[in-house]
Amino acid sequence: MASFIPVSDQSDFSFFNLPWGAVRWTDDSVHLATRIGDTVVSFKKLRAAGFLASFPELENETFNAFIDRGTAAWSAVRAEVSGLYAEGSAWEANAKRGTCEQPAAAVEALLPVHIGDYTDFYASRQHATNVGMMFRDPENALLPNWLHLPVGYHGRASTVAVSGTDVVRPNGQRKGPNDPAPVFGPSVKMDFELEVGIILKGGPRDASWIPVDTAEDHIFGLVLFNDWSARDLQQWEYVPLGPFLAKNFASTMSPWIVPYEALLSSRCAGEDQSNPAPLPYLQQNRAGSHWDLELEVAIVCADGSETVISQSNAKYLYWSFAQQIAHHTINGCIIQSGDLMASGTISGNEPGSYGSMLELTWNGSKPITLANGGKRAFLEDGDSLILRGWSTGKTRIGFGECRATLLPSKPWSK
């Protein structure tokens, strides 16, 4: 089925996508919306025109209450919008249609959910191995627990921002291995992390858990996610409880949530987990446990030149999202609608598919040469970091850009 709205074959927002988003409308009000090509469609305006009558939650400023409605409601909204905007629909010539649409360039994308909690996992085997080789024993790069459970830790939801929000270089303590004492100042090893995140529907509230076999019923949709990292601050502070100031200063999320339903044709097999086999609560059929999503990272310098520095794929994750959800809730932890879980850095097996500057430059020892002739060991002020992602099926389904520009640190004085 095609739409009467023209969409380029290279657009991330094909008629099969119909992502979930929030925008500031031209009258400065906030609207939940979807997108077809370069056209943004307001759910609030569609309801005013007499459609989507069963879904008053779509007049809110975030999707949280709508997410509570579950998979049947999500599918029903997508089906109604698909019917309205299909070729041959009477809606094309309806005088009210113009009030429901705006060009994407005319509206400001906003964070489409209130994120109550955010959990960052560490689910890429190659990334965990690379980090272990750099900072621990190369012969035993993975810690003993890594192949038995999805390692994760809690991030800071208050500093998750929508794509386009600038990031300020953080200040903090750092201490090199040969320094006699720590010093305070701006991070000198600013990094990105290439991740895919999931926006969740709430779960049980009675200390029971979400089984791995039904975990995907709780995935509202997927996003691109850059969990910025100050590697020098992290190296000094992470023992014994893990990163703190090195990670909680900023994370960037793509503005359009790609619906779970839209990506079903992009499922693929996950890595073999037979040696060792996970414990029973984590065991999952691996035939379609993952998503085949092409991922790309680019640096845009202050002069406007762009260099693609990494090309990876979501299929390189070892632990699936279903396993992450099951593990997260097996102890009775309550998941709330709008919560975010991120995959952790996604790295493939080849250097060009690594998902961080830490790996791409091997902790700064092998700087990257950019298109303008410059070099980067880590990110510099004025650099814009862009994540892109799309499905590999017959019809392109993408996320749009996940972009942020790194600004200089704030001056500090006592």
Separation between Cα atoms, residue 221 and residue 201, nearest integer Å: 10
The active-site residue, picked from 31, 127, 290, 327, is 127
Contacts of 177 (CB under 8 A, 6+ apart): none
Taking residue 344's Cβ as centre, other Cβ atoms within 10 Å add up to 28
Collapsing DSSP states into helix, strand and coil, what is residue 44? Answer: helix
**Neighbour order of strands in the sheet with 167-168:** 167-168, 402-407, 384-391, 293-300, 306-313
> 324 CB contacts (<8 Å, ≥6 apart)?
121, 123, 150, 152, 341, 343
DSSP string, 47-106: HHTT--TT-GGGGSSSSHHHHHT-HHHHHHHHHHHHHHHBTT-GGGG-TTGGGGEEEGGG
Burial of 371 (0-12, 13-18, 19+ CB in 10 A): middle
Q: What does 9-36 look like in DSSP terms, one character per residue?
A: TT-SB-TTT--BEEEE-TTS-EEEEEEE
Q: How far apart are CA 213 and CA 136, in angstroms?
A: 35
CA distances from 342 to 27, 110, 152, 204, 383 (A): 34, 19, 9, 20, 24
Q: Dihedral angle at the C-alpha atoms of 54, 84, 266, 111, nearest 10 degrees?
A: -60
Nearest Cα to 190, choosing from 350, 299, 351? 299
Active-site annotation holds for 31: no
What is the CA angle 23-225-227, rounded to 5?
125
CA gap 364, 280 in Å, rounded: 41
224 touches 196 (CB < 8 A) = yes
Ramachandran area for residue 277 (φ above 0: left; ψ -120 to 50: alpha; else beta): beta
Residues labelled catalytic: 127
